[in-house]
Amino acid sequence: MSEHDNPLFATFARADLRVERGEGVWLVTEDGRRFLDFTGGIAVNSLGHAHPHLVAALSEQAARLWHVSNLFQIPGQERLAARLVEASFADKVFFTNSGAEALECAIKTARRYQYVSGHPERFRIVTFEGAFHGRTLATIAAGGQKKYLEGFGPKVEGFDQVAFGDIELVRAAVGPETAGILIEPIQGEGGVRSAAPEFLRQLRALCDEQGLMLIFDEVQTGVGRTGRFFAYENAGVEPDILASAKGIGGGFPLGACLATAEAAKGMTAGTHGTTFGGNPLGMAVGNAVLDVILADGFLDEVRHTALLFKQSLASLKDRFPDIVEEVRGEGLLIGLKPRVPNGQFVETLRRHQMLAAPAGDNVVRFLPPLVVSADEVREAMNRIEAACAELSAGSSESSAA
């Protein structure tokens, strides 16, 4: 459809692909082509497409009850919250429909904690360059990226950005009005940039010393993506508050804000709310996602497959040093930094019927469903290798010319 007749906001530069259905890690277009999906709905389709357990859970719930509102008790919420608490640092959970809303809840929870702790003056949050926290007015201010802030009026007050990874800069940015520190353990949209475990430990110590809330944005890294239930386990550092979304719903719009009981103590009746968040459909799917991800051995398998994938990419880098500059990431959140524009790399892959997602810092992200098999990783490697060979031939032609 041409831009002119398209009734949609022009906010997305969409690829010319019309997907009709999905099966596991495969997407089938309206014209019958099959694509290997290593975009995974941007880290959302944690169990792939049309996973039978998710389809059954959603269908069964759809026939029974869709929505009642948070004026009433919702057993599925209590069950999912209890399971998230059991699997994490948290004691309390608030459900949302998206990542940005989970972040909004996290920011409000941190501010409110300071307010009820006798520090109403503490509302500022330290954030990091290259961060992405969503597209609401507060989360674009938290992310601090000019391209997302421009033209939308005054930036929401209360976010102080520093370079990613330097504890002295964080220390200098903390003042009497600081309520907390917000960080992605691995920046996803920013280009799969991992925070050093030591840096996260230093942030934890600084928060403890100054009475600040440590907030992790695990919207992209959480729920198995890095081979652990949450990425903070890799560093052994627990936050006070955590935002989750994307993979937790496996494709159903679902997010959650997790907190310790202490951190959540200001979030009393009437302070926050949502119409759709935590509705029975979302809870049925979220519980079904956890049935699979928390099953014995599942995350071991993810780590195993991820290692195979990463080792294969490392050997590809050795064979195509002219095309692959770097491979980085954790688990099945992997970034390949090409020496050609990332958009060109993604398009070349697409011609080989494989899908990947661009990210900042000229990175190509691979975010396959967590159920991807070793054979499917090998198939992906064939296609990535073919793309590299094509790009390499192209670049030697252009340098010969």
Ligand X SMILES: *Cc1c(COP(=O)(O)O)cnc(C)c1O
Q: Under the rule (CB under 6 A), what is the footprint of ligand X? A: 98-100, 103, 132-134, 184, 188-189, 217, 219-220, 245-246
Q: Is 106 within any annotated ligand binding site?
A: no
Identify whether the C-beta of residue 334 lies closer than 8 Å to the C-beta of residue 372.
Answer: no
Closest CB 401 distance from ligand X, rounded Å: 40
Query: Within 10 A of 65 (CB to CB), how many other CB atoms are there?
Result: 13
Return the number of the residue (217 or 240) whose C-beta is nearest ligand X. 217
Q: Is 165 within any annotated ligand binding site?
A: no
Q: Is 135 within any annotated ligand binding site?
A: yes
Distance of CA 340 to the CA centre of its chain: 25
Return the number of the residue (162 or 256) whose C-beta is nearest ligand X. 256
Q: Is 219 within any annotated ligand binding site?
A: yes
363 SS3 class: strand
Closest CB 92 distance from ligand X, rounded Å: 20
Closest CB 104 distance from ligand X, rounded Å: 9
Query: Within 10 A of 376 (CB to CB), how many other CB atoms are there?
Result: 21
**What's the token pair of residue 197?**
């475990």
For 241-251, b where at least 16 C-beta lie within 10 A, e where not — what string?
bbbbbbbbbbb
Return the number of the residue (97 or 392) whose C-beta is nearest ligand X. 97
Q: Is 274 within any annotated ligand binding site?
A: yes
Q: What angle do CA 338, 245, 345 make, to 5 degrees?
A: 15
Residue 57 identity:
A
Closest CB 49 distance from ligand X, rounded Å: 19
Return the number of the residue (114 or 220) whose C-beta is nearest ligand X. 220
Euclidean distance between CA atoms 85 and 369, whole angstroms: 24
Torsion angle, alpha carbons of 66, 69, 73, 74, to 10: 30
Closest CB 172 distance from ligand X, rounded Å: 25
Closest CB 244 distance from ligand X, rounded Å: 10
Return the number of the residue (134 or 251) whose C-beta is nearest ligand X. 134
In eight-state DSSP terms, residue 392 is H
Return the number of the residue (273 or 321) whose C-beta is nearest ligand X. 273
Query: Which residues are annotated as part of the binding site for N(2)-acetyl-L-ornithine?
Result: 135, 274
Query: Which residues are annotated as part of the binding site?
Result: 99-100, 132, 135, 217-220, 274-275
Query: Which residues are annotated as part of the binding site for pyridoxal 5'-phosphate?
Result: 99-100, 132, 217-220, 275
